[in-house]
Chains A and B, each alone.
Chain A
Amino acid sequence: MKLHTFKIGGIHPEENKITAEVKTRNAALPKVAIFPLGQHIGAPAKPVVKRGDVVKVGTLIAEAGGFVSAPIYSSVSGTVAKIDTRIDATGYRKPVIIINVEGDEWEDSIDRSEKLESLAEHPELTPENISDIIKKSGITGMGGAGFPTFIKLCPPPTAKAECVIINGVECEPYITSDYRLMMEHAEEVIVGLQLLMKAAKVERGYIGIEENKPEAIKLLTQLTADDSRIEIVALAQKYPQGGEKQLVDAVINRQVPAPPAIPVNVGAIVQNVGTAYAVYQMVMKHKPLFERYTTVTGKKLKNPGNYLVRMGTTFAELIHACGGMPEGDNKVLAGGPMMGKSVMSLDVPVTKGTNSITILSGDEAHRKSVQPCIRCGKCVDVCPMGLEPYLLATLSANKLYERLEKEDVTSCMSCGSCQFTCPSHRPILDNILQGKGVVMGMIKARNVKK
Chain B
Amino acid sequence: MGKLIVSLSPHAHGTDSVEKNMFGVVIALIPAILVSFFYFGLGSVVVLLSSVAFCMFFEWAITKYMLKREPTLTDGSAIVTGLLLGMNLPSNLPVWIIIIGALVAIGVGKMTFGGLGNNPFNPALVGRCVLLVSFPAQMTSWPMAGQLTSYLDAQTGATPLAIMKQAIKSGDVSILDKLPSATQLLLGSNPTLGLGTIGEVCALALLLGLAFLLWKKIITWHIPVSIIATVLVFSGLLHLVNPIYANPLSEILSGGLMLGAIFMATDYVTSPMTHKGQLIYGIAIGFLTVVIRNWGSYPEGMSFAILIMNAFTPIINLSTKPKRFGEVMKK
| Chain A residue at minimal CB-CB distance from B72 | A371
A388 touches B273 (CB 8 A): yes
User: A383-B322, A423-B17 are known contacts. Are A372 and B3 too (CB-CB below 8 A)?
Assistant: no
B269-318 contacts to A (CB < 8 Å): 269-275
| B310 CB, nearest partner CB in chain A, Å | 12
For B329, what are the chain A residues with a Cβ–Cβ distance below 8 Å?
A: 255
Q: Interface size for chain B: under 10, 10 to 19, 20 to 34, or 35 or more residues? A: 35 or more
Residues of A within 8 A of B324 (CB): 258, 385-387, 408, 411
Cβ contact within 8 Å between A377 and B9: no
* Also in contact, A329 and B5, with CB within 8 A (given A374-B116, A423-B21, A425-B13): yes
In the complex with contacts A330-B4, A341-B9, A374-B269, A245-B326 CB distance below 8 A: yes
B322 touches A338 (CB 8 A): no
Is A365 at the interface (CB under 8 A from chain B)? Answer: yes
Q: Given A383-B322, A388-B273, A173 and B12 touching (CB < 8 A)? A: yes
- Is B11's CB under 8 angstroms from A366's CB? no
B326, A420: Cβ atoms closer than 8 Å? no
> Which A residues, 238 to 281, have Cβ-Cβ distances below 8 Å to chain B?
245, 249, 255-258, 261
A365–B4 Cα distance when bound, in Å, is 10
Tell me whether B11 and A338 are in contact (CB under 8 A): yes
Indicate if B137 sits at the interface (CB-CB under 8 A): no
Q: Which residue of B10, B321, B329 has the most chain A CB atoms within 10 A of its CB atom?
A: B10
- The contact string, 1 if C-beta is below 8 Å from chain B, for chain A 328-345, is 111111000111111111
Q: Are B273 and A371 in contact (CB under 8 A)?
A: no
Interface residues of A in 63-106 (CB under 8 A from B): 91
A5-13, A34-42, A51-59, A176-184 - the one binding chain B: A5-13
The list of the 8 closest CB pairs from A to B, nearest first, reads A416-B10, A372-B117, A377-B273, A337-B12, A329-B2, A257-B326, A376-B268, A331-B5
25 contacts between A and B (CB under 8 A): A249-B328, A329-B2, A330-B4, A338-B9, A340-B11, A341-B9, A342-B4, A343-B4, A343-B6, A365-B11, A372-B117, A375-B270, A376-B21, A377-B273, A380-B274, A386-B323, A386-B327, A388-B322, A411-B325, A414-B9, A416-B9, A416-B10, A420-B13, A421-B16, A423-B16
Taking A258-B324, A386-B327, A424-B17 as known contacts, 11 extra A-B pairs with beta carbons closer than 8 A to each other, sorted by chain A number, are A8-B325, A255-B328, A255-B329, A325-B1, A365-B7, A387-B324, A414-B9, A420-B10, A420-B14, A423-B17, A424-B18
A residues apposed to B, CB below 8 Å:
7-8, 11, 13-14, 91, 173, 245, 249, 255-258, 261, 325, 327-333, 337-346, 358, 360, 362, 364-368, 371-378, 380-381, 383-388, 390, 408, 411, 414, 416, 419-425, 427, 429-430, 433
